[in-house]
Amino acid sequence: MDYTISITNKCNLKCSYCYERHLNTEYGCIENGMKEKIAEFIKSQNNAETVYLFGGEPLLYKDTVKYYCDNIKAKKMIITTNGTLLEEDFIKWCAERKIIINMSHDGIECTERGVDTALLDANLKLLLKYQPDTLVQLVYTKETLPKLYDNIMYLKNLGVKKVSATMDAFLVPDDPDRLGDILREQWQKIADIKDLFVYELAAKKETVRNNKTSLCEICKRKIFINWDGSFYPCVQFQNIPEYRCGDVFVGIQAESARKAHPDYSMVSERCSGCEIARYCRNSCACRKMSTTGTVRDISEAACMEEQVLILTALEILSKENGGMRS
């Protein structure tokens, strides 16, 4: 089981595309009594694969982050941070314990995040010194999409070996055809970058090879633990009562939510009749909820992004197979 612990949903930045700002939920952080209860629950399950320490910005509460790193056993412990609060002592502390830090950085200009690019550059270089395989997470918007390749190359030139590039979930295209053309152009160029791991393309290649995508099910393989100790399927459902799946006191109670939401795992309504739907993240409830506010459909922009990623992955595999599609 993968557990995501929301240390807090507060943040020191105000990114234009932040999902938390669109969820309209109460802001808070894990208090001391709850901190121990969450750790005790995860330890009692004895099944932690990956534990994600998440926000908001989790490093606003560094002591709580350290507590979980020291008190929960998991195959992987991953901290997701916006990078502004990283310090060498903390980075070194994590490296010594093999705790992974994933950092956000949007490339040449970070105006969508309201942060000085020079600060992120300096902290990223420091992080790469101790964790050279750091995954850097980039979000692109309608405005920054035409510079997506340039922004990824900017990160590569800083020494980054692994990137993840995802679209602003709230993007609404003014001209869908034009958006599709730019997406295709940018991802084709990204696919040709040498010596760089791009998560989206690697994941899509694996999906195409297996000829299917994994089914999204409530609390089957992952649980989101809110800062108040409540359980939800994932971050996009936090504080939505009908998706609550228990808490640290009563344990996981996912069955009632599964019965109440039989459409949770459904293929997006938009995908009916699509030839490449089997390769799509069209059943990911978190993705559907984040882009449309429902679990029945994904947005037009998200659909277009998926199509482009699938076509790009197919082209990569064709080249790797000497021109023959797998």
Q: What is the pLDDT of residue 275?
A: 84
For the segment 300-305, the average pLDDT, to the nearest whole number, is 94
pLDDT per position as a tens digit, 83-95: 999 999 999 999 9
Q: What is the pLDDT of residue 24?
A: 66
Any domain includes 112? yes
Any domain includes 230? no
Any domain includes 70? yes
Q: How many CA atoms lie within 13 A of 145 on its CB side?
A: 20
pLDDT per position as a tens digit, 219-248: 889 999 999 999 999 988 988 888 999 999
Determine if the peptide bond prior to 56 is cis (ω within 30°).
yes
CB burial of residue 241 (10 Å; 0-12, 13-18, 19+): exposed
Measure the CA–CA gap between 141 and 4, rounded to whole angstroms: 26
pTM of the predicted model as reported, rounded to 2 decimal places: 0.93
**Cβ atoms within 10 Å of 19's Cβ, excluding its own:** 17
How does 185-199 read in b/e, with b if 16+ C-beta sit within 10 Å? Answer: ebbeebbeeeeeebe
Can you give the CATH number for the domain in which 17 is found? 3.20.20.70
Any domain includes 253? no
Strands 251-252 and 246-247 turn out to be antiparallel
SS3 category, 189: helix
CB burial of residue 250 (10 Å; 0-12, 13-18, 19+): exposed
* Mean per-residue pLDDT of the chain: 93
Of 231-235, 277-281, 314-318, give the lowest mean pLDDT range.
Answer: 277-281
For the segment 106-119, the average pLDDT, to the nearest whole number, is 93
| Total domains present in the chain | 1
Torsion sign, CA atoms 310, 166, 83, 157 = positive
Any domain includes 291? no
Strands 76-81 and 100-104 turn out to be parallel
Measure the CA–CA gap between 183 and 128, rounded to whole angstroms: 29
For the segment 158-184, the average pLDDT, to the nearest whole number, is 96
247 and 231 Cβ atoms separated by less than 8 Å: yes
Measure the CA–CA gap between 221 and 45, rounded to whole angstroms: 13
Write the CB contacts of 288 (distance below 8 Å, at least 6 apart in sequence). Answer: 268, 294, 295, 296, 297, 298
Residue 308 has pLDDT above 70, yes or no: yes
Q: What is the pLDDT of residue 326?
A: 46
Q: Which domain holds residue 28?
A: 2-210
Q: What angle do CA 222, 287, 30 make, to 5 degrees?
A: 50
